[in-house]
Structure 1
Amino acid sequence: MRFYSDAEIRRVFTPQQALRAARQAFELLGDGHFVFYPRQVYESPTGFIGQMPGYIAAGAHRGFGVKNIVVTKARIDGLPSHNGVVTIFDPDSGMAQAAFDASTITELRTAAMSAFATDRLAAPGATTLALLGAGDQARAHLAAMLAIRPLRRVRVWSRSAESRERLLAWARRNVPAGCVVEGCAAVATAVADADIVCTVSGARSPILSGDMLAPHAHVNAIGASRPGAEELDPSVFRDATVYLDCRAACLEESSEIQRYLAQYGDAAATALRDAFDLCADTARPAPGRTVFKSVGFAAQDLVAARSIERLCQAACLPLMPA
C-alpha cells in the first residue's frame, strides 16, 4: 500500500483537477451511486476523531473508502488542525489500496466543492470576494475562487489579527496583478457589496446576518460543519435560494440548517435544494442571494483520492511507502 503525502497531492491536484473531482462526486450522489454512511465522531478531553466511510457503487471511482481524521484543541505552530488519512480499498479484492494525507485532501476538496457551487451560482463577472476566516480553508478558497472568477478585490476578516495578517501577506504574493487585497476589522465591512462570501471561520455562534449582504451575493457556508457550531444567522438563509452539499448530512449535522428550519418551518424545508442538481447543463441559478451550505460527505474524499492516485501514476511521481 502506498502513502500519498501533502507534497505529492499538491503537485498534481490543481484547483482545476479538484473542481473536476468535486463535480464527479456530486454526480455520483445525484445518480444514487454513492452509498451514504453516517459520520461517526468520538470525543476526548483533548479533541475528537471523526470517521467518514463510504462506498461508490459504479464507475471509475468504484469501491470502499474511509477518512479518519483527528482534530485537537491545542494548535501546534506549523501543523494543520486536522490530521489523518483517507484510505481506499481495491473494489474487487477488498485489500487496502492506498492512503492519503487527509488534511490536504480535506482542504482542497472542500474549496473545490465551494468553487463548483460558486461557478454555477455567482454572477459570471463577480469580482469581489470576502473571506470570513484566515486559516487553511481561507487560503484554499481564495485559490479556488481565483480559478473560476476574475477577482479584483479580496477582503479578509478574522477574529485573530495575526492570522489575518499572515493570510494577507500570502494573498498579496499569489493574487494576479491588479487584484487589491485588504484586511477588515468588522464582518460587515468585509462583506459589504461582495459578490462572493466564503465563511471559513470555525465560529461557534453566528457572525453573519442577512442585512449585511448585498442582494446578489453568493455565500459559501463552510466553517460550521459540526453540530453546535454556527456562522450564519437564519436570516441569511431566509432571503436566499439554499443549496445543500448532502441533504441527509446537513439535516443531521448542521445546527445552522436545523435552527433555520425550526424558525421558518415546512416552507423553508420544502425550498431547500440539492447541490447535485447544479451538475445539469441546463441548471440556472435563481435570481437574488444564493447560499451553498456544506458539511462534507465521503464521496468527495474518495473521488479526490482515486483521482490523485491516477494523476500521480500518470505523472510517474515517486511514491512513499506507507
Structure 2
Amino acid sequence: MLRAKPAASVARPLILSSYDEVWSLLDWDQLLSRLRTVMAQFSASRKQPPQIAHGIQKTEMVHIAQPIRSWIEIPQHSGSYGVMPCFVADGDLLSTKVVSSYAKNPTQYSLPSHNAWVMLFDGKTGVLKAMLEGASITAKRTAAASALATETLSNKTYETLAILGSGVQARSHLEVHQRTFGFKKINLWNYQRSTADKLKEELQSGRDQALYPEVEVFENVQDAVKDADVICTVTMSTSPVLLSEWVTKKDVHINGKSTQPRHQFSYDWVTKKDVHINAVGAPRPTWQELSADLMNRGSIYVDTEVAARHESGDLIMSGAEIYAELGEVFNKTKEARWKQLTIFKNLGMAIEDAVSADIIFQKYHEKN
C-alpha cells in the first residue's frame, strides 16, 4: 500500500517528563518579566476594537487568542479534565495545556491529585516543538502571577506573609515571595495541622532554609492572618476559609530622622496600612475561599475578566465587582489602589503556560 510522504521531515519534539527538570529550567526572573509583558498585552488586545471593512470583521492579525478553558467531568472517578489552548503573536507561541484533577488519587492510588502536560507548537507552522510536564509549570507560573500582584497592589510593607494551605501552590508561593520580597516572618495554616508542621520542617531544613528565617504554624486562620501584610489562599476548600472580620488594617511603626540640614528632627508615629490578598483556590463556580463580605470590601483585580466571571465562585457567589485586570495596571489603563484592601483573584491563564513553555524550551537548548 502506497502512503503519501510529508513534503519535509518534521523534527522530533522535545519531551520532558520530569517535574524537577522542568522546574529547574523555568527561571523565576525570566518568568516574572515575561508574565508582566504578556498579561499587559492580553489586556490591551482585549480592549482593541475589531477592524471592520465593508461590514465584515477583518481577521488578518490576531495578537492573542485565549478561549475560556473547557472542562469535562468524570463523576464516577471524582475526576475532571480540562483543556487550555492559546496563541500569542509575540513569539508566535501556540500552546495547549491538558490538565486532570482526581480528588481520590492520593488516598486510593498514592498518586498526585493534579496532573498536566503542556504542548508547545510553532505558531507559524503548527508543528509540535515540545511536550512538557505541566504540574511544575502550573505551580510556578501561578505563584509568579501572585508575586506580580503583590509587587503591584500591596502597601509595600513586607513584614509578615500568611499562607493558607500547605500543598504544591503553598510551596511555590512561598519560594517566589521570599526570593522577591524577603518577608521577615511566615505564618502557616492548613486544615490538617500535621501537613503545615511538615511544610515548616521542610522549609527550615532544606537547601534554601536561609529564605525562611522565622516560620510559625497556627491552629486557626484568624491567628494566622492577624498581623499579615500579604495573605495567599492556596487551599482546595469549597467554602470560605477567610472571613472579613479577620482581615484588618495593620499598625505600622515608622521612625527615623530628617536629613535636611536646616530642618533636622526625629519622627516616630504609627500608621495603618491595609492588606493584599492573593486568592488562588476555589477555581469552580460553586467554590469559595473568601467570604462574600470580604470580597465586597476589597478592590478586586483578576487575571482575565471573562474567565473570572465564568469560573470564580468567589466572584459569582458574592456578586462582587471586578475593578480591573492585572494587565490593565501593567499597561497603565487602570490604577493600583494599594492604599486600600486589594484582592487578586488568580485563576491562571493559558498564555502563562505558553510563555513558561517557551522559556523552558529555549533554556533547554541553551544548555544542550
The alignment's TM-score, normalised by the length of structure 1, stands at 0.90
Select the residue among 19, 40, 44 that pairs with 1:31.
44
CA distance in 1 between counterparts of 2:20 and 2:211 reads 27
Decide whether the 8 Å contact of 1:16 with 1:147 is kept in 2.
Answer: no
Match of 1:273 in 2: 324
Q: Tell me the residue number matched to 1:18.
A: 31
**In structure 2, what is the equivalent of residue 320 of structure 1?**
none
Structure having the higher Rg: 2
**Other-structure match for 1:59:** 90
**Do 1:217 and 1:290's aligned partners in 2 also have CA atoms closer than 8 Å?**
yes
Partner of 1:70: 100
Deviates more, 1:23-32 or 1:115-124: 23-32
Say whether residues 1:94 and 2:146 are aligned partners.
no
| Cα pair 1:225 1:296 within 8 Å, conserved | no
Q: Is the contact between residue 88 and residue 99 of structure 1 (CA under 8 Å) also seen in structure 2?
A: yes
Q: Supply the distance in 1 between the matched residues of 2:33 and 2:307 (Cα, whole angstroms).
A: 22
Q: Indicate the percent of aligned positions where both proteins have the same amino acid.
A: 28
Secondary structure of the corresponding residue to residue 92 of structure 1: coil
Counterpart among 332, 337, 344 of residue 285 in structure 1 = 337
Q: Work out whether 1:208 is the aligned partner of 2:242.
A: yes
Give the counterpart of 1:181 among 201, 215, 219.
Answer: 215
Alignment of 1:216-231 (within 5 A): 216-231=274-289
- Indicate if the aligned counterparts of 2:40 and 2:331 stay in contact, CA closer than 8 A: no
2:152 is aligned to 120
3-state SS of 2:180 partner: coil
Distance in 1, matches of 2:150 and 2:353, equals 20
For 2:366, the equivalent position in structure 1 comes to 314
Range 19-28 or range 239-248, more displaced: 19-28
* Counterpart contact for 2:161–2:231, Cα < 8 Å: yes
Which region of structure 1 is more displaced relative to structure 2, 67-76 or 201-210? 67-76
Tell me, yes or no, if structure 1 residue 304 matches structure 2 residue 356.
yes
Q: How many residues align?
A: 307
Do the aligned partners of 1:120 and 1:285 also contact (CA within 8 Å) in 2? Answer: no
Please list the CA deviations of residues 44-83 of structure 1 after superposition, one character each: whole Å capped at 9, or x if unmatched.
1211111111111x212x2321110111122338743211
* Superposed CA offset, 1:246-270 (max 9, x none): 1000000001101222xxxxxx53x
Task: After TM superposition, list the pairs within 5 Å mapping 1:190-205 onto structure 2.
Answer: 190-205=224-239
1:161 deviates by 2.0
Q: Give the partner amino acid of 2:15.
A: F
Residue identity opposite 1:121 in structure 2: L
Separation of aligned partners in 1, 2:117 and 2:182: 34
Q: For residue 118 of structure 1, give the secondary structure of its aligned residue in structure 2.
A: helix
Deviation at 1:228, TM superposition (A): 1.8
- Give the secondary structure class of the aligned counterpart of 1:248: helix
* Per-residue CA distance 1:161-219 (angstroms, 9 max, x = gap): 23212211122233437721010010001000200100001100001112111321100
> Matches of 1:162 and 1:17 in 2, distance apart?
35
TM-score, normalization by structure 2: 0.79
Distance in 2 (CA, whole Å) between partners of 1:185 and 1:240 is 26
Structure 1, unmatched stretches of 5+, are 262-267, 317-322
Instruction: Give the Å deviation of 1:92.
Output: 1.7
Give the whole-Å Cα distance in 2 for the aligned partners of 1:111 and 1:286.
Answer: 20
